[in-house]
A = this chain, B = another copy of it.
């Protein structure tokens, strides 16, 4: 059996209350006593039982995560990894609520409550059947990544999607492209809307027209990019450059372009979004908009922690800068 606070108290010749106070950083403990207790704690390698702590109504030091996309998503996983360091710094462990479902019965809110989760990070796509506000309504601080949910005591993190795409358009214009098309992501997704807005703004600023059907709705998958690109290839005025809402989409697009007997970037330049690991390894290496996943993860935990600790904090957000990484899938025109 592992040692408990009573063992420590006994060994240190004090009461359990005193040990508890030392452990919780109360200043009303005599320096000598404190040292004696800490010595025993160290000797016995004592760690207070988390369940008991959490039961007595204090902190559980657990943050829940929920991914609408499953655990192995190529873009979200690095964010998870980015969370690691600030998790460590703040002392939280991460709990992946596998039982989490969006069904009404056995609701995820209840599940979070039963686990005494202090806060939740939700990664995801917008889906009409997911009631994202339930969590914050239940008083559980929630941080959304790539989601714009309007609720109090909530945080949000995303990249500067709009500016990023706008900047990509500008880059293409600078290397002489004028017929620039856009492969959009899931239409009802927050990031898709931002990226599309960035495309439109960028084209306007560059003084370029957007021909009808130059924006093709797609999803974030390779297959989706492939299908959308085929549509675009049939366009009467074929684009010389395409900006995609994801790297996977860009890879699909490149496949379609090749199949049509055209070359990337000679005939069509392709720009992706995310800079997932794959991006630099495909052929040609993808010019893409890199999201700073590490920073997103770190910031997510920080903001969530803020939400947890400052009751008065109404709502927080962060926009993380991106970076256009120029590789070989885009080239000067003419």
Taking Cβ atoms with an 8 Å cutoff, the residues of A that contact B are 2, 42, 45-52, 54-55, 60, 62, 70-72, 74, 77-78, 80-81, 84, 87-88, 91-99, 105-107, 110-111, 113-116, 251, 277-278, 281-283
Contact = CB atoms under 8 A, between A and B. Distances in A.
B281 A113 contact: no
A214 to B, nearest CB: 27
Question: What is the copy number of this chain in the assembly?
Answer: 2
Given A2-B113, A96-B93, A77 B84 contact: no
Contacts of A71: 77, 80-81, 84
A251 B277 CA distance: 13
Contact of A62 (B95, B105, B281): B95
A178 B235 CA distance: 51
B77 A47 contact: no
Contacts of A55: 49, 51-52, 55
B84 A93 contact: no
16 contacts: A45-B107, A49-B55, A50-B115, A50-B116, A51-B52, A51-B60, A55-B55, A62-B95, A72-B78, A93-B95, A93-B96, A94-B96, A95-B95, A282-B282, A282-B283, A283-B283
B98 A115 contact: no
B72 A81 contact: yes
Contacts of A45: 105-107, 110
Given A45-B105, A55-B55, A84-B71, A115 B96 contact: no
